[in-house]
Chains A and B, each alone.
Chain A
Amino acid sequence: MGIDRRKFIKLSGLAALGIAGRAAGDVVSTLEESTTLPFERPLVGKRWAMVIDLKKCQQHEGCKDCITACHRIHNVPDFDNPKDEVKWIWEEPFEHAFHEQEHEHIRNDLKHSNVLLLCNHCDNPPCTRVCPTQATWRREKDGIVMMDWHRCIGCRYCVAACPYGSRSFNWRDPRPFIKEIQPNYPTRMRGVVEKCTFCDERLAKGLLPACVEACKEKALVFGDLEDADSEVRQLLGSHFAIRRKATLGTMPEVYYLV
Chain B
Amino acid sequence: MENFFYNDDDRVTGPEVVTGKATFAAEHQVPGVTYGVLVGSNIANGSISALDTKAAERAPGVLAVISHLNAPPVPGYEPPKEPEKLPAGGKGLQVFSGPEIYFNGQPIVLVIADTFERATYAASLVKAQYQTNKPQTDFTEAGKSVEAVPGARYKDNIRGDAAAYKTAPVTLEAEYIVPVEVHNPMELHAIIARWDADDKVTVYDKTQGVKSTQRSIVSAFKLKEENVQVFAPFVGGGFGSALRTWPHEIAALLGAKKIGRPVKLVLTRNQMFLMVGYRPYTLQKIGLGATTDGKLVGISHQADSITSMYEEFTEGSVNVSKIMYACPNVFTRYHIYPFNVSTPTWMRGPGEATGTFALESALDELSYKLNMDPVELRLLNYAETDPETGKPYSSKFLKEAFELGVEAFGWKQRNPVVGSMKEGQLQVGYGMATGVFGAYRGVAKAVARIYADGSLVVQSAVSDSGPGTATAMVQVAASVMNMPKDKISFELGDASMPPGPTQGGSATTSTLGSAVFAVCTSLQEKMAALAVKNAVFYANELDEIKPSDFIFEDGFIVLASDKSKKISYTELLKQNKVNQLEATEESRPDGKMKDYVAYSYSVHFVKVLVNPATGMVTVDKVVIAGDAGKIISPKTAESQMIGGAVGGIGMALMEEGIIDNRYGRWVNNNFADYHVPVHADVPPIQAIFVNKPDPLLNPIGAKGMGEIALIGFAAAVANAVYHATGKRVRDLPITPDKLI
Do chains A and B interact in one complex?
no
Interface residues of B (CB under 8 A from A): none
